[in-house]
Structure 1
Amino acid sequence: MIKQSKRQLEIMKVLQIRNSCSVIELAEHLDVSDETIRRDIRHLAATGAVEKIHGGVMLPHNSLEPPFLSRLQEQREEKQKIARLIASLVKDGETLLIDNGSTSCYFAKELIAYRNLTVVTNSTEVARELCSRNHNRVFMAGGEIRSDDSASYGPAAVEFARQFTTQKAVISMGSIHGKQGCLDFDLPEAEFKRAIIPQTEQLIVAVDHTKFDKPGVINVCALKDIDLLITDQMPPDDIVDQIGANKIKVAL
């Protein structure tokens, strides 16, 4: 038997592969009763993560990425490894611009021993992790704070980010594609990332291997805009070719 939180995460993983599934199929897959699955579906539907359909469940029509809490658990060890590697490049007293990606949240946890950092972010999770530690200064973007990822978006957040110049910007991407470049799935997120890129001396993109050549929707930037790509596995050949052509540094 799978515990409730893990079971609901497993339901989301199944839906990411199949988009929809019946109650009976999920019950058999997870070795629980139909009623247990229905309770899980009601809980997930109440959060907006899924939509109930007759006899089953499906992802919302506008859901191109899993909910943020699910993303935090996916490739968790890989993201933590990436976060540690990024943190090893940071020095006390540096200025950082950090987005709201799941890897960024792990990165913030790796910074708790650093001192006198100046951090600009749109993530309440990143801000909460760093604001009260070691004489750090944290600037939090305004705008609408979404319930899914507790991050702020919109014109106010974009204009806020444009006021700062930082030594490093650490951002995630929904997809790294050999031909299409850096892509995302959410327009407000993409707009915030576009605002960050010109404001930093070094653009660090942090992605795990599942993001390589993944279909994306919204263009964020070209591969040539990246200064350092930090990941857990070497990218496919088409991306490696672009990395070499644009002299992008890669760290594993």
Structure 2
Amino acid sequence: MEPLTPRQAEILGRARQVGRVEVEGLSLQFDVTPQTIRKDLNDLCDRRLLQRVHGGAIYPSGASNYAYDSRRMLAADEKRRIGERAAALIPDNASIMLNIGTTTEQVAHALRQHDGIMAITNNINVAHILRDTPSAEVIIAGGLVRKSDGGIVGEATVDFIKQFKVDYAVIGASAIDEDGSVLDYDYREVRVAREIIGHARQTILVADALKFQRNAPIRIAHLSEINVFVTDRMPPEPILALCTGAGVRIEVAGEDTEAVALAAS
């Protein structure tokens, strides 16, 4: 799937802000024909990023997530930088649990450079990324394989995770609310994520800045339960204040510079 064009990304951002975009208004804004805008909207809707309505498109509700391929394309460079920064926080010879998510998959890519790690995951994609890493031991959870994205969920997965106590949990999320709630869509996935957090000595949350603008209905945890939050942009003031008050370390992975580490105090 091709990345979004700059115009499509701007249309998506506008829809996220106001909830609905109109063909006529977008045509005037971008100085292109209505046919061009309709093509952009159709592409965004095919990716399940927007929903078509008469005369335009609306931003989807917070009740369901984007399709997996669409999530991989959203903020792809930012997720890669976040993955590299998060992996840099994890030493060689560490034990790690990684949950479902396109950002945790980027952490897995960066962990291929590590020596002597044990990686436990309920994400088939993470296991595939790490499977041929010579010095990594990869353990994959049992359970129900979710066809949409290769996530493994269910009671068997929860029971499997309970067997371990690891050095680091690497957790992705679909949304972060201003009250500090870390959120996702699938209750079965959330149950596994909670168990992963409960069986790790330190928890690293990895999430790009788009997650500050999204909603999801199910609570994984509160930011105060996180040790390190790795993102690509400084969080909004309410979230920053919560992290500061709870002593959560924020790591901002910059685009053109080395990641900036900000210790909350």
- TM-score band by shorter chain is 0.7 to 0.9
Following superposition of structure 1 onto structure 2, how do residues 68-217 of structure 1 map, counting pairs within 5 Å?
A: 68-141=68-141, 142-147=143-148, 149-212=149-212, 214-217=214-217
Structure 2 SS opposite 1:212:
helix
Contact 2:19 2:59 in 1 (8 A): yes
Which range moves more in the overlay, 82-91 or 199-208?
Answer: 82-91
Gap runs ≥5 in structure 1: none
TM superposition shift of 1:143: 2.4
> TM-score scaled to structure 2, two decimals?
0.74
TM superposition shift of 1:58: 8.2
RMSD value, Cα: 3.5
> TM-score scaled to structure 1, two decimals?
0.78
- Counterpart CA distance in 1 for 2:210 and 2:61 is 22
- Counterpart CA distance in 2 for 1:50 and 1:80 is 24
TM superposition shift of 1:116: 1.8
Change (3 A) 1:22 1:241: closer
- Counterpart CA distance in 1 for 2:174 and 2:112 is 26
Following superposition of structure 1 onto structure 2, how do residues 4-15 of structure 1 map, counting pairs within 5 Å?
A: none
Contact 2:146 2:153 in 1 (8 A): yes
- Counterpart CA distance in 2 for 1:240 and 1:22 is 34
Change (3 A) 1:63 1:55: farther
Structure 1 SS opposite 2:204:
strand
Question: Which residue of the partner structure matches residue 241 of structure 1?
Answer: 241
Gap runs ≥5 in structure 2: 252-260
Change (3 A) 1:244 1:20: closer
CA deviations on 1:180-213 (whole Å, 9 max, x unpaired) are 5211122222111111111000000011111125
Change (3 A) 1:24 1:125: farther
CA deviations on 1:46-105 (whole Å, 9 max, x unpaired) are x99998999999898896321111111111111111111111112221100001211111
- Counterpart CA distance in 2 for 1:76 and 1:5 is 9
Counterpart code for 2:138: V
Contact 2:49 2:70 in 1 (8 A): no
CA deviations on 1:26-50 (whole Å, 9 max, x unpaired) are 9xx9x99x8xx89x979x87x9999
Q: Which of structure 1's runs of 4+ aligned residues deviate more than 4 A? A: 3-7, 9-26, 47-63
